[in-house]
Amino acid sequence: MVLIRSDKNGVPRRLYRLNWTPGNRIRRLPKRIQPFALLCREHSIVRRYWLDRIFYRQPPEESERQVQENLSLGAQYVYEADVKGDIAEFGTMSGLTAAIISFAMSKFNKGWFRNRILQMPTDERFKPKKLFLFDSFQGLPVAESEVDRNSPHVRTGVWGTGSCLELSKEELREVCARLLPSERIVIYDGWFKDTLPQIPPGTKFSMLHIDCDLYQSTVDVLDFCFSHGSLSEGAAIFFDDWNPNRASPQLGERRAWSEMVEKYSIVYSDWGDYSWGGKRFLIHSYHRTIS
């Protein structure tokens, strides 16, 4: 079960996960004590949720607000600018960014922005889009690429094998289905290189949120999308981990992007920072390799 804490505008701000499966530390306790330890652990999570909701109503930190605003702006852009295709996220981890995107999509799909703010009728641009969510639900893969093995985050274990694992597939669907109709949520469970070929032929994306962390995982996503022509003209790409690894252009998402730009002759615009560690671009044209 996942509890969602939202700000005064209803935008998801923080997620609290209730997990009644004992972790390794609890399993090491005597059997008769484990149920009480499990209850104490989950009680503390519920307590933090209600304290945050009732007493600590301070606005989100600047970094949190920047992520919320920019992801919501990305969703608004692809609807208002009539960029064709659905929205996809690669790497869901806690489910918070998927929830933010779901919330934004639900508002625009209902014509909320045009009806409530602009006082205008909806039009063809506001046809419902689907949200594609990709995750292994096993944490990060083994860093097989030499580029990733040289990454400070990998060497220090920050991006270790199996790390960045929080929500299960069922929990992720539960979170997003509270904000977006379940039939518009498509979840792919597995490594990107294995699940990307399962996308229905002809699928187009108007926006990608890439939280792949590793260089090789990012290459797997971008190489597939550009080679298959999956990105529409004007599509937005958000990179969540642009600046980790000391912002080295030879590592991570930065290197993957520069290689794809050269490989597919991508013409793009720099759309600025997405967060302290993130970057975003708008795609104008590129050369695909698969017809």
CATH number of domain containing 232: 3.40.50.150
Question: What is the number of structural domains in the chain?
Answer: 2
169 and 25 inside one domain: no
d(CA 104, CA 98): 10
165 or 76, which is more confident: 76
CB neighbour class for 252 (10 Å; exposed up to 12, middle 13-18, buried from 19)? buried
116 and 12 inside one domain: no
Cβ atoms of residues 84 and 232 within 8 Å: yes
CB neighbour class for 17 (10 Å; exposed up to 12, middle 13-18, buried from 19)? middle
86 and 178 inside one domain: yes
Question: How many other C-beta atoms can be found within 10 angstroms of the C-beta atom of residue 2?
Answer: 20
Question: How many other C-beta atoms can be found within 10 angstroms of the C-beta atom of residue 176?
Answer: 27
223 and 271 inside one domain: yes
176 and 277 inside one domain: yes
* Beta-carbon-side half-sphere exposure of residue 252 (alpha carbons within 13 Å): 25
Rounded to 10 deg, the angle between the 215-227 and 252-264 helix axes is 20
| The pLDDT value given to residue 36 | 77
Q: Given 3-state DSSP classes, what are the helix, strand and coil percentages for the chain, each rounded to the nearest 5?
A: 45, 20, 40
Quick one: CA dihedral 143, 148, 153, 156, positive or negative?
positive
Taken as a whole, the chain contains a residue count of 291
17 and 131 inside one domain: no
> Of the given ranges (106-115, 123-132, 172-181), which has the lowest mean pLDDT?
106-115
Q: Is the pLDDT of residue 39 over 90?
A: no
pTM here is 0.83
> Of the given ranges (9-23, 173-187, 238-252), which has the lowest mean pLDDT?
9-23
27 and 160 inside one domain: no
Q: Answer yes or no: is 290 within a domain.
A: no
Domain boundary among 10, 27, 54: 54
Q: Is the pLDDT of residue 49 over 70?
A: no
Of 171, 88, 76, the closest CA to residue 126 belongs to 76
Domain interval for residue 123: 62-285
